[in-house]
Amino acid sequence: MIIDTSTTIAYKCSSCGAFQFTNVSLFEMSNKKESCFTCRCNGSSLVIAKEGPTDYRIVIPCIGCGTDHIYLFSRRELMACEMSVLNCPKTGMQQCFIGSDEDVRKQIDSLEKEFDELINMLGYDNYFVNTQVMFDSLNIIHDIAEKGNLFCECGNNDIELLLLSDKIYLRCKKCPANKIIYASSNEHLKNNLQTKQILLLDEGQPLDIKAMEPLMKKRDGK
């Protein structure tokens, strides 16, 4: 019988937003006080430190809220068959997956598939200032809309969504109210993650959509 003592960790880099894979051998880790895994962008690292003879402490810098989250795992938990999903306690953003290589890759593949579908739908990759932030922000708005928390001050929730290279433009279909969601930096993503509801207001300044050259129109909400 062969027992696989390695586990795969995928964490969302707090700097570039991409998932970074690491395969760790528990055997190796048990000989080290601390193991550090840096994203290929060099912008962030996940640190696993030994905490007693059979426990480990995992520290992950969070893209969602900007702080570090600490998770404690026993060796048994790290080797468990079930995949662990670590969510930011403040924003709920999925920031790390731990489990068998197969499970973790499947999970990330499905996340990346959604991402690729968006890129394919748009036809090209370089339109957005930060494609990852745009993608995550769209998902956030989608979740907010799904919970019924995206609406206009006029009471309408039939909202039109337009994508620009650096922002998402929401406008009411029944009145001039609108709202801009910025989505070009991780700072924006952090703000968007903290948004629980979006209310469109008519501030008497309808934006000149033609001058902004929207890339695409998409209906959202019901």
Q: Shortest Cβ distance from residue 136 to Zn ion (Å)?
A: 13
Q: Does 10 bind Zn ion (CB under 5 A)?
A: no
Contact status, residue 177 vs residue 153, Cβ threshold 8 Å: yes
- Does 41 participate in binding Zn ion (rule CB under 5 A)? yes
Closest CB to Zn ion among residues 104, 177? 177
Kindly tell me which residue out of 65, 80, 129, 209 binds Zn ion, with binding defined by CB under 5 A.
65
Q: Which residue from 62, 161, 168, 189 is in contact with Zn ion, where contact means CB under 5 A?
A: 62
DSSP letters spanning 16-45: T--EEEEEEEHHHHTT-SEEEEE-TTSS-E
Which of 8, 10, 12, 13 lies at the binding interface for Zn ion (CB under 5 A)?
A: 13
CB of 38 to Zn ion, least distance (A): 8
Query: Quick one: which of 39, 104, 133, 159 contacts Zn ion (CB under 5 A)?
Result: 39
Q: How many residues bind Zn ion (CB under 5 A)?
A: 18
Q: Are strands 150-152 and 84-87 parallel, antiparallel or unpaired?
A: unpaired
Contacts (Cβ under 8 Å, ≥6 apart) of 111: 19
Nearer to Zn ion, 38 or 165 (CB): 38
- Kindly tell me the sign of the dihedral angle through the C-alpha atoms of 50, 55, 59, 60: positive
State both tokens at 142.
């989608």
